Amino acid sequence: MVISAVSSRVESLSSSGIRAIPKEYIRPQEELTSIGDVFEEEKKHEGPQIPTIDLKEIDSEDKVVREKCREALKKGAVEWGVMHLVNHGISNELMERVKVAGKAFFDQPVEEKEKYANDQASGKIQGYGSKLANNASGQLEWEDYFFHLIFPEDKRDLSIWPKTPSDYIEATSEYAKELRGLATKILSVLSLGLGLEEGRLEKEVGGLEELLLQMKINYYPKCPQPELALGVEAHTDVSALTFILHNMVPGLQLFYEGKWVSAKCVPDSIIMHIGDTIEILSNGKYKSILHRALVNKEKVRISWAVFCEPPKEKIILKPLPEVGSETEPARYPPRTFSQHIQHKLFKKTEEALSKKV
Ligand SMILES: [Fe+2]
């Protein structure tokens, strides 16, 4: 049976019973040496580990207790740019509802999901999709996804949200509202950590009206040759902050001090990334870490990433003047969010082309 990788969903490829993956999914030779078995990787306890930050005391009346909690968050953002958040204030019940609803959507047959297919060529980016091959490399990723804007509520298009299961809209909307509150709290601690006023970073990324929360449910089917593929290739997030839930199947890896570190599965936690936007505004004090997702042959992995992004054109992102100094000049040129994305794409295409020469 010949399966076209271009027209197939990864889920269809996976369930077709193929034993060898199409060549578009095979990573370049130099990358293959770093791809190991994700379950083995997760068991490793030696070496640096992603910090777990307990937010229980983030608003404590006791100044010393409060500052200790906030310092830990700041330290995580400076040293890693990624962390497991616990006691973040969002109930397990709500997170569970979001996960049950997302999984129920993906549990439907591919034909059902195709009714929600996006159309990237015509600019319809919301909906069900898979990565299209980048022209330069032709490389594909072992995942399908569902992508849609979930906050602010007046910018949502509920007509494209999954109608099945029936709790999807309510659970996801409630979660979006709660996450938006958590984002404000985190941004205020990060602002204070830079010596800025509490509301400054929130304002710089667009505030309540303009900061967009986009959810991407990543669905990684079982892969017959996980040692050859990646679910998501190495990248840094362009967002201000990213919040991630997952179904307790390992897969996320972070590139820390020259090595790939596998994220452990921490119950009831939310993984949070500092994205490029905050890295730029903070002139590199807070880090946007390189990361990727491995796949495996035994279990489907699902993750729910919510990207908190500034508006595409309205804001020029550049290091805040208060953050730099004469000894620390601005490390990033001024760019809109959209120009920043274009710049990254351009760099990536150039790299891919240079490898082909
Ligand atoms: Fe990411």
pLDDT (tens digit, 9 = 90+) per residue, 263-294?
999 999 999 999 999 999 999 999 999 999 99
Fold adopted by 21-355: Jelly Rolls (2.60.120)
Report whether pLDDT(168) > 70.
yes
Separation of CA 2 and ligand 1 centre (Å): 32
Separation of CA 237 and ligand 1 centre (Å): 5
Q: What pLDDT was estimated at residue 324? A: 80
Tens digits of residue pLDDT in 249-259: 999 999 999 99
User: 357 falls in which pLDDT band (50, 70, 90)?
Assistant: low
Separation of CA 235 and ligand 1 centre (Å): 6
Give the predicted TM-score (pTM) of the model.
Answer: 0.96
Report whether pLDDT(150) > 90.
yes
- Residue-averaged pLDDT of the chain: 94
Q: What pLDDT was estimated at residue 137? A: 75
Tens digits of residue pLDDT in 213-231: 999 999 999 999 999 999 9
- Known catalytic membership, residue 56: no
> Is residue 224 classed as helix, strand or coil in its secondary structure?
coil
| Element housing 272 (H / E) | strand 270-274
- Known catalytic membership, residue 291: yes
Which member of 103, 235, 344, 348 is catalytic?
A: 235
- Known catalytic membership, residue 107: no
Q: State how far the Cα of 303 lies from the Cα of 220, in Å rounded to an integer.
A: 9
- Known catalytic membership, residue 246: no
Q: State how far the Cα of 357 lies from the Cα of 351, in Å rounded to an integer.
A: 10
User: 6 falls in which pLDDT band (50, 70, 90)?
Assistant: very low
Does residue 278 contact residue 206 with C-beta atoms inside 8 Å?
no
* β-pair partners for 292: 253
Separation of CA 282 and ligand 1 centre (Å): 19
Does residue 84 contact residue 50 with C-beta atoms inside 8 Å?
yes
Position with higher pLDDT, 2 vs 110: 110
Q: What pLDDT was estimated at residue 349? A: 81
Q: Which of 8-17, 132-141, 222-231 ranks highest by mean pLDDT?
A: 222-231
| Element housing 85 (H / E) | strand 82-86
Pairing between β-strand 82-86 and β-strand 52-54 as defined by DSSP bridges: parallel
Tens digits of residue pLDDT in 281-338: 999 999 999 999 999 999 999 999 999 999 999 999 999 999 988 888 999 999 999 9
Q: State how far the Cα of 49 lies from the Cα of 32, in Å rounded to an integer.
A: 23
User: 1 falls in which pLDDT band (50, 70, 90)?
Assistant: very low
Domain ranges of the chain: 21-355
Separation of CA 322 and ligand 1 centre (Å): 28
Residue 51: asked if its preceding bond is cis (omega within 30°), the reply is no
- φ/ψ of residue 103, rounded to 5: -65, -40
Contacts 24+ apart (CB under 8 A), 157-160: 157/126, 160/116, 160/126, 160/127
